[in-house]
Chain A
Amino acid sequence: MTGTGNLGIRAQVLLWAAQRMSAAVLAVCVLIHLATVIYAVRNGLSAAEILGRTRGNASWAMFYTLFVLVIAVHAPIGLRNVLSETFNWRGRSLEMTVLVIGFALAIWGFRAVYAVFAY
């Protein structure tokens, strides 16, 4: 076995697969997000005007919910690799740290989605 830390080999491989798949979704999400931002503010928009357009818009709410979800999957896995390789950090403390970061990203992201899209 070549595993390190507490995760089994299958879990390590599935994390890798999850990161690849979330990356594919993220690539599309980021493009749509940037294009929308550039399009929406081209003539200048106030916060109130933005909220007027976003609140109650179910499709955009679903899009950004998906965006937040894939970020919460993708970022902690990548961070796990970065921390492991930079600080030679392995094991349960690393897994728990990135798990907490993943949950934090999801909570902050969903809070933002709620604030922008909920009535």
Chain B
Amino acid sequence: MDLKVRVWRGKEHGAFTTYDVRREESQTVLDVVVYIQRHLEPSLSYRYACRVGMCGSCAMNVNGVARWTCRTHVSKVTSANTLEIAPLPNFPVIKDLATDMRDFFDKWARARGQFHGTRTRSDDCASVPPSTPQRLAADAGIECIGCGICYASCDVVTWRPNFLGPAALNRAWTLVNDVRDGARVERLRAVAGDAGCHACHSHMSCTERCPKQISPTAAIAGLKRAAAIAALKGEI
């Protein structure tokens, strides 16, 4: 039995077009999109690279839920042989399923997502024992692949377009816990307040949908605590 696949065509304004795609065993949503582009609709625009859940570029809204399409089996998301594939919410659409991720990554920079080392090449390597609380906290968030699924799933991003979003804040939290980093106060100042971690409502959509099982909600809660303590001390 064929799959009925509704695919978004257009930019911010557009419409869904339905395609019939043969159902295969172990078929992923990305397989479906690739099939449509190669056999049915050569002008379909979308983005992917690694196909194995490493690069974070193939995320789309599948049946209303943001997912990494390369690691999502069709059987996991539909029992009725129907799929609706749309671009990620909260991102401007470039064309069809390809979204503009500039704001998303600019916010990582705004959240001071860069490592600021304090040692020079003549210093020894830093020793960070794996069992320290800071290292464990950093480990919990470090595997982010930047797919934007958390950002697409976040209500606060929808309500406050200048909200930094779960991924950027998760990145900031890993660096706040990096004992080698020397920009803690500047980073807390950058991520605090109405457009930063304190805007989070803890809906936990990001945590529920993160394909890497990261909890940006926990990272944001950590940032809220750290920033509140810094504000009470007068550091920020």
Contact = CB atoms under 8 A, between A and B. Distances in A.
B110 A2 contact: yes
B194 A12 contact: yes
A4 B199 CA distance: 12
Interface string A23-47: 0000000000000000000000000
Contact of A2 (B156, B162, B232): B162
A24 to B, nearest CB: 13
A36 to B, nearest CB: 31
B interface residue count range (under 10 / 10 to 19 / 20 to 34 / 35 or more) = 20 to 34
A12 B193 contact: yes
Contacts of B206: none
B236 A2 contact: no
B160 A2 contact: no
B224 to A, nearest CB: 7
B195 A2 contact: yes
Given A10-B231, A13-B227, A13-B236, A4 B159 contact: no
B228 A2 contact: no
Contacts of A20: 228
Contacts of B83: none
B175 interface: no
B219 to A, nearest CB: 16
Given A2-B162, A84-B194, A85-B159, A9 B232 contact: no
Nearest to A8: B193
Interface in B136-178: 156, 159-160, 162, 164
A48 interface: no
Interface of B: 110-111, 156, 159-160, 162, 164, 189-196, 198-199, 224, 227-228, 230-232, 234, 236
Interface of A: 1-5, 7, 9-10, 12-14, 16-17, 20, 81, 84-86
